[in-house]
Structure 1
């Protein structure tokens, strides 16, 4: 059985997904794509033997599309995901599920009304081998009881359009999801701590920043987000337990030793660091669909991450801790 996929959004990540689904993932093909950049959509469609449609809704309603990948701008996600639910087509939606917690709840309400899951949210770090090692060490008690964690999220540079709140909604949102996943608990309060700004950051961006995430079970996670670190893409994680520590470092393809020094490469960007992880994510999504199962991060996970990110933005503005209030979790997601 081959799953015929429609892809909405053919920017960097969308185009990469088209390539993976059409030539690398077992059991899938791409049949339709859409992007507001018509020329770009036609080029990407041609590379996969697909058809470029005139709108996102045309992709969703296409009878030749079994499932949909949404890689469009975040403010369009809620509307497009709701259309997928209405069409009863499974959807892999890149983060965020929606840009506001209110819109996320509209999506959850619509999905719960159908009595089954249609949505997987693209928190791909859950599929990364390194993060899986950390998760296993937490779950099986290798490090005792998990007490706290330290996380780092650094980008070499960001465009001038990047803003301080985007550090929460576009970057730290991954650490928010990883925190919930690793500890199996909800985040109940978040605080953004100001630091000395980098002289290389744009004047309108507070960079770097420290984010404190407090968990329902009493644990605390610190996140350093630094989006203009200059030297590469650096994502790390360390969980401290009662009897041990488990650490995720940057993977390195090569190490150079000479003149009394040891040097190793740092990924240039997220596409280098997580390219294989995206492939694993897509393969598991397609494999699940072929057996009638939608798994992975759920709409609830998307809602919780967006809600915490909203609170982080509020803390960024106020300088004070902000409590996170989530609605009661529907049974569909338990």
Structure 2
């Protein structure tokens, strides 16, 4: 019997009465925060505490990559896009060191607020074809992405945060934004395996804790988009690559997910393919529809989601201070 969970997004900077009730639902395993929920670091800490007062075990998550994708900015360091690392450092060793410190900084500042998880890092390759990826990627070739992302993950873990690789099996080639349109990558599996999937393969070998799928269709590999494909989730990721962590859907409200049907149908196809943790953001009725679907199913709530809670760590103020200087320097490079 499958175990499944759903993450809840919130309307504002404080919990509503409806959200307080929804957080008690056994199929809700976590919360995802957006910019509308993050007025300041102090306010985020208070919001997290209010969630914990209802269900202490919930996983509090956010997208805090840096650059264009940084939901919380006030009271924490404004982070550069990770592409700035490879842009600044031609020497591999320098880039690896910088990536490790930026991963530590990002995670440490969130862990100080009791946020468990940032959906990072992006393991896609920037081919200059997909504007939604762009400088969110560590580099323009898979070798650079593979090497630098491994160090970034190491830094995250030093601050007690698990890593989530995205967007499997690679989002950099498809020339569409899946938030608004269908995205297609016509390359063969062998080509993907030898290029875009290399950073993901290394991360899995290094015990990556979670993986998020792309709403991208790879017609040479399977007839369904990756997030609704047992070929990708089960046969490739689980069996061929040996991934043992949590599998997240990308946001089921995205335009590229619409081909799967209504929200219940999208959830059903994702779970049937092997997805364990569902995201449905900025669409409350969609969230309610998915909860009704889960209630009517034989699934059990995903207990394993607790493995993504923040771990104990020892804060190093000197290291944090140096990492903030590095981030500011790289922000100048990115600009």
Q: Same fold (TM over 0.5)?
A: no
Higher helix share: 2
Q: TM-score, normalised by structure 1?
A: 0.31
TM-score, normalised by the number of residues in structure 2: 0.31
